[in-house]
């Protein structure tokens, strides 16, 4: 599943640089996550880095983008051109 940023976002700027896939960007009012680029850091890290650094805990799983770990690994490989280990 991809992650999403809720309206509780305070635009603190800490999540965007943590994303290894550049999936996080400044939206009209708050930061947003491009679900086509979000792998929940699968392939890069053990945990989702944006979730780890978010001071207001406003980055839950997007219920509209149900993806298995295998799906996320496939997306990682497609985005990076690297084989997941």
Inside any domain, residue 63: yes
Determine the pLDDT at residue 17.
98
Inside any domain, residue 40: yes
Inside any domain, residue 31: yes
Q: Report the predicted TM-score, pTM, of the whole model to 2 decimal places.
A: 0.91
- Which tokens sit at 85? 């280990």
Determine the pLDDT at residue 72.
94
- Structural domain harbouring 22: 16-80
Q: What is the DSSP letter of 49?
A: H
Mean pLDDT in each 10-residue stretch from start to end of the chain (85 residues)?
94 97 97 97 96 97 92 94 80
Q: Cα–Cα distances in Å, from 28 out to 46, 55, 58, 62, 82? A: 30, 21, 17, 19, 33
- Which tokens sit at 70? 């295998």
Determine the pLDDT at residue 1.
75
> What's the CATH code of the domain at 55?
3.30.70.20
| Per-residue b or e along 27-47, where b marks 16 or more CB atoms closer than 10 Å to that residue's CB | eeeebebebebbbbbbbbeee
Determine the pLDDT at residue 85.
66
């Amino acid at each position: 599943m991809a992650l999403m940023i809720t309206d509780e976002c305070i635009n603190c700027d800490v999540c965007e640089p943590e994303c290894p896939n550049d999936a996080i960007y400044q939206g009209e009012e708050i930061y947003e996550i491009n679900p086509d680029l979000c792998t929940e850091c699968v392939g890069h890290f053990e945990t989702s880095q944006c979730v780890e650094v978010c001071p207001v805990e406003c980055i839950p799983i997007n219920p509209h983008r149900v993806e298995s770990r295998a799906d996320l690994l496939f997306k990682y490989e497609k985005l990076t051109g690297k084989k997941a280990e």
